[in-house]
Chain A
């Protein structure tokens, strides 16, 4: 069965510092990968996705992620964070099953940006 592990439940960082939110997955077949962001008391918004092609994916708000098949990882990065990036971030992985894809979410990482 596939699973998604977000290695840090909380990541504190100072404003304008770089940040990396880690995501590892387990799957024996090809995957599609997503990062979503959730601001307090709101739904989730798509940050970026990897379906195929270049392993470096750029998303909204200056975020990017790199798909590493050998390490089964899809870490999210931003070179310089802002206070407004404070939110919870979810990694999600989809694998193709016999009767359609199944999407599994990680437990989430809370990013706290401090001034």
Chain B
């Protein structure tokens, strides 16, 4: 079955360390996204990519970085510059740019930084 795979499901890191979250899709979608979810705040867009080798900052990109070297992969790095990194991170994809075609989501990675 086609879908989006995020790994790991749970991730624990010490403060000051960079950490990379994996996102792979086999839906052949052009667009991919990273969202951050905090209780009571809905989803906030971190980065998105509409095509390979191109990506754009979302609303809360500070302290994060991404790459899009392959169509099926869109890893997110949470750097030590992110002041409050503990959150639930969701990766999504769509056939076209955001807001027209529905988003398909992975099951998320819960990151805890202590």
Query: Chain A residues in contact with chain B, CB under 8 A?
Result: 4, 9, 32, 34, 36, 41-46, 49, 51, 90, 94-96, 100-103, 105-108
Contact = CB atoms under 8 A, between A and B. Distances in A.
B61 to A, nearest CB: 14
B86 interface: no
Interface of B: 4, 6, 40-45, 50, 90, 92, 97-100, 102-103, 105-108, 110
B40 A94 contact: no
Contacts of A106: 42
A90 B42 contact: yes
B98 A44 contact: no
Given A105-B42, A107-B40, A44 B100 contact: no
Contacts of A41: 107-108, 110
B40 A43 contact: no
A94 B105 contact: no
17 contacts: A34-B102, A42-B107, A43-B106, A45-B105, A46-B103, A49-B102, A90-B42, A94-B98, A94-B100, A101-B97, A102-B98, A102-B99, A103-B98, A103-B103, A105-B42, A105-B44, A106-B42
A43 B102 contact: no
